[in-house]
Structure 1
Amino acid sequence: MTQTGSLPLRQVLAYGAPGLPLALMGIPLYVYLPPFYANELGLGLAAVGLALMLTRFWDVITDPLVGFLSDRIPGRHRRKVLMAAGIPLLVVSLWFLLRPGEGVGLWHLYLWGLIAFLGWTLIQIPYTSLGAEADPTPHGRTRLAASREGLALVGTVLAASMPVLLGSEAPADVLGAVFWLMAILLPLSFLIMGAGMPEPTRHRPVADWHHGWPLLKHNRHLRGLLGGYFLNNLANGIPAALFLMFVADRLGAENWLGTLLLLYFGAGIAALPAWTWAARRVGKRRAWGASILLAAGSFAFAPLLGPGDAAWFAVICVVSGLSLGADMALPASIQADIAGIDSDEGGGDRAGLFFGLLGLATKLALAVAVGLGFGVLSLAGFESGDADTTALALAYGALPVAFKLAAAWLVFSILTDTEPNLREKTP
């Protein structure tokens, strides 16, 4: 570590390596998997949405528990031990989840989805907790988060480009190809991180479970972050779940699917350095709030589009995609700052518990997004292929804007950059 407290670039990049394969599963799980089970396997929109939502509600228990365990496990490599345990669990469960046989039912989706999300939790929470501890400086934590989320965006773009690379838009083909890529790259990237990124020695006592929860309950900034993060991820999750149907049924542009995904995530990668710079100049919370408003403003035009408007939707994908880098990197960096301040003020070592709560907010938001999006369409009587797509347009575009505005209000009203010890100074 340098005298400024910042890790060398090689260690920052080594830390970010697992972010790429972990992100490969984002698009398959939230974009391709629901319509694949609902339409191609014939399980129905409402039933699939409910099953996926129920699998994520188990995270109410598993996320805080895994975060707490990653704080309590003795030894210097406690975070990496849990990650190593989660990798085979995730890979095996995804094999069954993404490559279902003929005649599978909702129990297959529910069971293997539940196991897959547990494996994901065992990897993701210790991974983000390690990023909060490895560098003691606010900007250093932003660098680590940017490395992790920047490589995650690369992985997401790679997953988004699968239809183009495979020459097939079939969900089954995309799901199978992405699985094999993830199964190879995830263990390899873990070895790179393990060899290149040392896990810091614990320097504070571990916070007691019973004393930790009351402090979390009264942490105003943590409540504001979790609330804004939940609403913002809910706003992102609804269009993700409905993306395939919106492009195919509303715009009539199935051949644009791969291009639109690449434009969206490519814009996120391109904008990530700018958001990192803005976070250092004006504060992480202001930068994140601005990105949320940018996405809300661009998405407000989505319900106005119809058949033949694929080019205009491409513009929306680019503009809303610019906010993606901020969404991925800045909340985790803010959480790392809050966890560090909590420890400095006597809260003890509980970064895992803090990031367990952040992971819980993410998963609950995505679970509710799938259930809410598909549920609204089911109540409206919409089925893929219907001529009247008004309900689809409103669910895809109007609902996310409302949740984005609510998230921005929480970020600007609670997570201000005026508190002296939560403000990142600019040089």
Structure 2
Amino acid sequence: MSDELIDPAVSSSEDKLSLSTKLAYGAGDLGPAITANILVFFLLPFFTNVAGLGAGIAGSILAVSKIWDAVNDPIVGVLSDRTRSRWGRRRPWILFGAIPFGLAFFAQWFVPFPGNTWALVAYYILISVLFNSFYTAVNLPYTALTPELTQDYDERTSLTQFRFAFSIGGSLVSGILHPLIVGQFENNLALGYVVSGAIWSVLSVLPLFWCFWGTRERYQEDIEDVPFREQFRIALSNRPYLFVIGIYLFSWLAVQVTASIIPYYITFWMRLPNSWIALTILAVQGTAFAMLFVWNAISARIGKKAVYLLGMVLWILAQAGLFIVQPGQPILMLALAVAAGIGVATAYLIPWSMVPDVIELDELTTGQRREGVFYGLMVLLQKVGLAAGLFFVGQALEWSGFQGTSPDQPEAALTAIRIMIGPIPTIALILGIILAYFYPITKERHAQILLQLAERKKASG
């Protein structure tokens, strides 16, 4: 496969991406989505119910590991900007990071020191640091591929649609099958988690190789050797980008808090068996998967901002309903989960499709392309949202007097669970709506940016 780069001045309307390229690109997010989904839904219960850690300690472990991510993410972003190889600058990271990424995920499901709390804490922090490092090594360069595959506004939304079709599909399948696999080892849950971890590790690594071989970077610019801190200053001085990272942070925080508390909400508030966790995940993620295609078509007509605002309103109404729902109303709960999935789809689709637009505004302003830095901050925020969600849920359960796996929880713990399924995500979503309302790059403004860039390149050519 040739890796010859196409002139960025070529009209994007004459250079559409093939279906095979879009499928290969989308597959690149399957492994990271599977691992992230399993971690957000099941790692905290694994810590509290299998490894025997307290809820507060368990919720703190991933938050501590994110201290390294604050350094790791931007470093990988800058290094991928500067990578030079016959395979491009992003794809080598995907190729060589794939297997270590899978091994690190697998290692998280062992309990090597039963009963030794601090040895377990040290082990899980170490493994979390390793996993997050390799996750960044494959996922950040992958996300930075989008603007290097196409410069077309609607093609980028289409790429994002394929990406999150795989992402939500992987989340959906893993969210349903993981608890079912573990449930086959009812008398030895620790072994069940190890077996399931091994299966998902393999299934997470293989699509990364598909992405590597099925895509190529076509739009590259030489990256000026700008100091690390200066690149971040430039990225954070991009006003539309600040809106995008705010929109994404609040949306993702709502996703993470809701996902983290769902197993506890279903088990202790709704008093339903574990099989309902899989059904609820199916309702949310299955709906989100289907709605990606609907929202993508609507976005082409009314724009990204309007789609996001519509999705968030639906999501907020669903979260309010989940707060009100009472035990004995499982069908209503599932109906609200479906409604939430309609909104969740826009949180997946829209913020990521906005990032390439602000990258081109930065290029117009500075004359340089710094995809790695912009995407590095986005991936970092994704992990911050995950860490904050798990930390917040763990601490809230601890403060409310949560009693481990006991079916009879104190009233304060049940109230805390309900607040985290309703009001807390709603506050985050409202803040995201406010930022989206003022987001300044429309489809028309993006077309003007591309025209100005093309005129500049012709003048300098």
TM over 0.5: yes
Shift in CA distance, 172/273, structure 1 to aligned 2, threshold 3 Å? farther
Q: Does 1:413 align with 2:450?
A: no
1:118 CA displacement? 0.8
In the TM superposition, what are the counterparts of 1:233-248 in structure 2 within 5 Å?
233-248=252-267
Aligned length: 425
Aligned partner (choices 116, 127, 135) of residue 120 of structure 1: 135
Q: Does 1:21 align with 2:31?
A: yes
- C-alpha distance after superposition, 1:399-427 (max 9, x if no partner): 111111111111112356387237899xx
Q: For 1:126 and 1:87, how far apart are their aligned partners in 2? A: 12
Q: Which runs of 5+ in 2 are unaligned?
A: 1-5, 7-11, 451-461
For 1:311-390, what aligned pairs fall within 5 Å after superposition? Answer: 311-384=331-404, 385=406, 386-388=409-411, 389-390=414-415
Partner of residue 61, structure 1? 71
Moved more, 296-305 or 356-365: 296-305
Q: Which deviates the most, 9-18 or 189-198? A: 189-198
Shift of 1:80: 1.3
Q: Residues 57 and 364 of structure 1 are in contact (CA less than 8 Å); yes or no, is this contact kept in structure 2?
A: no
> Per the alignment, in what secondary structure is the counterpart of residue 42 of structure 1?
coil
Q: CA deviation at 1:180?
A: 2.9
- The reply to whether residue 218 of structure 1 matches residue 243 of structure 2 is no
> Structure 2: how far apart are the matches of 1:141 and 1:4?
14
Shift of 1:89: 2.2
| Alpha-carbon distance in structure 1 between the residues aligned to 2:21 and 2:142 | 14
1:396 pairs with 2:411: no
Aligned with residue 200 of structure 2, among 182, 188, 198: 182
1:94 aligns with 2:112: no
Once the 2 structures are TM-superposed, how far is the Cα of residue 224 of structure 1 from its aligned partner? 1.0
User: Would the aligned equivalents of 2:235 and 2:241 in 1 still touch at CA under 8 Å?
Assistant: yes
- What is the aligned partner in structure 2 of residue 276 from structure 1? 296
State whether residues 86 and 123 of structure 1, in contact with CA within 8 Å, keep that contact through their aligned partners in structure 2.
Answer: yes
C-alpha distance in structure 2 between counterparts of 1:348 and 1:20, whole Å:
30
SS in 1 for 2:134: helix
Distance 1:187 1:166, change over 3 A: closer
Give the letter aligned to residue 421 of structure 2: Y
CA RMSD of aligned residues (A): 2.4
Q: Is 1:132 the equivalent of 2:151?
A: no
TM-superposition CA deviations, 1:21-42 (whole Å, max 9, x none): 2211123211111111123222
Map Cα deviations across residues 62-81 of structure 1 (whole Å, 9 max, x no partner): 11111111101123522111
Q: 2:122 aligns with which of 107, 118, 127?
A: 107
Distance 1:309 1:57, change over 3 A: farther
Contact 1:24 1:178 in 2 (8 A): no
Aligned AA (1:182): W
- Comparing 205-214 and 217-226, the one that deviates more: 205-214
**Alpha-carbon distance in structure 1 between the residues aligned to 2:402 and 2:430:** 27
Residues in 2 aligned to 1:189 and 1:107: alpha-carbon distance in whole angstroms: 31
In the TM superposition, residue 6 of structure 1 has moved relative to its aligned partner by: 1.8
Structure 1 residue 349, shift from structure 2 partner: 2.3
Residue 300 of structure 1 deviates from its aligned partner by 0.9
Q: 1:119 to 1:135 in 2, by over 3 A?
A: same
Q: Which residue of 2 aligns with 1:250?
A: 269
The whole-number CA distance in structure 1 between the counterparts of 2:367 and 2:233 is 11
Please state how far the C-alpha of 1:341 moved relative to its aligned partner.
2.4
3-state SS of paired residue (1:78): coil
Counterparts of 1:227 and 1:380, CA distance in 2: 30
Q: Deviations over 1:74-109 (max 9, x none)?
A: 235221111223222222222221233351511111
| Secondary structure, counterpart of 2:16 in structure 1 | coil
Structure 1 unaligned residues grouped into runs of 5+: none
- Match 1:305 to one of 325, 345, 348: 325
In 2, the alpha carbon distance for the partners of 1:167 and 1:211 equals 48
Structure 1 residues 327 and 316, CA gap change in structure 2 (3 angstroms): same
Amino acid at match of 1:137: D
CA contact (8 A) 2:157 2:353 kept: yes
Question: For the residues of structure 2 that align with 1:89 and 1:334, how far apart are their CA atoms?
Answer: 30
Alpha carbons 1:56, 1:363 under 8 Å: kept: yes
Higher mean displacement: 246-255 or 75-84: 75-84
Quick one: percent identity of the two aligned structures? 22
Would the aligned equivalents of 2:140 and 2:375 in 1 still touch at CA under 8 Å? yes
Distance in 2 separating the partners of 1:244 and 1:19 = 24
Residue of structure 2 equivalent to 1:285: 305
Name 2:209's counterpart in structure 1: 191
